[in-house]
């Protein structure tokens, strides 16, 4: 009996301590993110010739809408270069139907030969064809508002590369929603709070802009063709060549359909594999900061539920902290995103609680499936293609 009471008391103490530390870290990230956003406003705009290159994969039901809206919203000085695989019949048909604007060109890309990152190979073909002073890389599920590109071009007066901040729309099913909540839980609190301490470690491949000559002088996408984590590899390449990366606070909207549970787990495994490559490449001081700010909070949230053993008072405390968590995240969405994406408190919590499982999956299994290929990723981000298309 006494041993049981002791166990309950220890669980309650552990849960309460975890809850307090979880909220302290969340509050610190909230304050630091708000402070950074307030100190780096993005209001200046610039109009200049720019080529927007987009690697495209057909199949998502929202692809056509995203491409159409980008063409409508972009300045008249912008040109689009859509990169479509020769064997992607759906992508070819979707882009053909929309390429009725003189600013749009389609570049058909042959299958990649050898151990090259297929996205980097396509982007290099595009870079060879770019004639404008600036180049922007945009994912095919990302939607730019009219002010996004002019703000990014203006920011290049003080940096080499400008990268955006993702904001996901919910999507049509639970798996799409889980991805959206994972990103909207973490995009602001991952990218902004640590910037004054360690700077941007990587970039968001969904939207970035730089001068074409700067990219070519750095070696272009050829220089990172052997790296699967192309966003992190490009960030490292820019820094190695003396460039400066600016993490923007203006958010871009993404709309992605995740058809099934298996697709969801493949996406999350890929993202956490890439995150593991980044983390392994950092010095101890940076790793400690990343662990405190990003790694430990989901674990603390799990441990916090042990406080339930203490009775209804602790249940009420947990509920109050979760309400405060939701309020802080929504306040960040409002102040940084400038809008409130659809966001369910319970789905947000589930998405955070699933993070340790996704990390463990990526840590134990270095083989992933990306599109139609099976790939084994090495600890340094290099990779090899494996025979067979199954996962």
Is the confidence at residue 295, as pLDDT, over 80? yes
User: What is residue 328's predicted lDDT score, i.e. its pLDDT?
Assistant: 96
Of 282, 277, 283, 287, whose CA–CA distance to 378 is shortest?
277
Does residue 280 form part of some domain? yes
Q: Is the C-alpha dihedral spanning 340, 341, 342, 344 positive or negative?
A: negative
Residue 67 lies in a domain: no
Question: pLDDT per residue over 214-252, tens digit each?
Answer: 999 999 999 999 898 999 999 999 999 999 999 999 999
Q: Evaluate whether residue 96 is within a structural domain.
A: no
104 in a structural domain: no
Helical axes 89-98 vs 63-73, angle rounded to 10°: 30
pLDDT at 390: 40
Q: Which pTM does this prediction carry?
A: 0.93
Q: Does residue 38 register a pLDDT over 80?
A: yes
Evaluate whether residue 307 is within a structural domain: yes
When divided into structural domains, the chain yields a total of: 1
pLDDT above 50 for 330: yes
Tokens of 73: 């919203």
Residue 310 lies in a domain: yes
In angstroms, the CA 34 to CA 21 distance is 20
The per-residue pLDDT for range 348-370, each reduced to its tens digit, is 999 999 999 999 999 999 999 87
Residue at 351 is within a domain: yes
What's the pLDDT score for residue 318? 86
Task: Work out the pLDDT band at 391, boundaries 50, 70, 90.
Answer: very low
Report, as an integer, the average pLDDT of 105-124: 88
Q: Under DSSP, is residue 389 helix (H, G, I), strand (E, B) or coil?
A: coil
Domain boundaries, position 124:
1-54+116-385
3-state secondary structure of 106: strand
Report pLDDT for 278: 94
Residue 160 in domain: yes
């Amino acid at each position: 009996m006494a041993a049981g009471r002791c166990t309950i008391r220890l669980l309650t103490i552990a849960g309460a301590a975890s809850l307090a530390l979880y909220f302290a870290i969340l509050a610190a990230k909230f304050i630091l993110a708000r402070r950074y956003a307030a100190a780096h406003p993005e209001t200046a705009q610039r109009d200049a010739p720019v080529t927007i290159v987009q690697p495209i994969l057909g199949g998502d039901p929202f692809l056509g809408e995203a491409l159409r809206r980008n063409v409508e919203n972009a300045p008249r000085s912008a040109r689009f270069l859509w990169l479509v695989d020769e064997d992607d019949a759906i992508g070819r048909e979707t882009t053909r139907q929309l390429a009725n604007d003189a600013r749009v060109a389609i570049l058909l890309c042959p299958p990649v030969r050898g151990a090259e990152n297929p996205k980097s190979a396509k982007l290099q073909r595009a870079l060879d064809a770019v004639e404008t002073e600036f180049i922007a890389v945009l994912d095919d599920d990302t939607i730019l508002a009219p002010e996004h590109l002019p703000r990014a071009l203006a920011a290049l007066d003080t940096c080499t590369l400008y990268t955006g901040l993702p904001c996901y729309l919910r999507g049509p099913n639970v798996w799409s929603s889980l991805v959206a909540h994972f990103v909207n839980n973490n995009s602001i609190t991952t990218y902004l709070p640590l910037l004054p301490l360690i700077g941007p470690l990587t970039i968001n491949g969904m939207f970035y802009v730089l001068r074409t000559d700067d990219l070519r002088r750095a070696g272009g996408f050829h220089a990172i063709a052997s790296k699967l984590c192309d966003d992190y590899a490009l960030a490292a390449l820019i820094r190695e060549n003396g460039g400066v990366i600016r993490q923007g606070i203006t958010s871009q909207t993404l709309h992605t359909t995740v058809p099934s549970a298996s697709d969801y787990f493949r996406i999350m495994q890929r993202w956490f594999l890439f995150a593991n490559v980044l983390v392994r490449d950092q010095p101890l001081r940076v790793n400690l900061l990343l662990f405190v700010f990003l790694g430990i909070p989901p674990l603390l949230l799990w441990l916090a539920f042990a406080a339930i053993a203490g009775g209804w008072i602790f249940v009420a405390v947990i509920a109050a902290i979760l309400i405060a968590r939701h309020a802080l995240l929504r306040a960040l969405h409002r102040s940084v995103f400038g809008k409130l994406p659809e966001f369910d408190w319970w789905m947000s919590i589930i998405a955070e609680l699933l993070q340790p499982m996704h990390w463990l999956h990526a840590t134990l299994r270095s083989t992933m499936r990306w599109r139609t290929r099976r790939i084994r990723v090495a600890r340094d981000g290099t990779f090899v293609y494996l025979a067979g298309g199954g996962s």
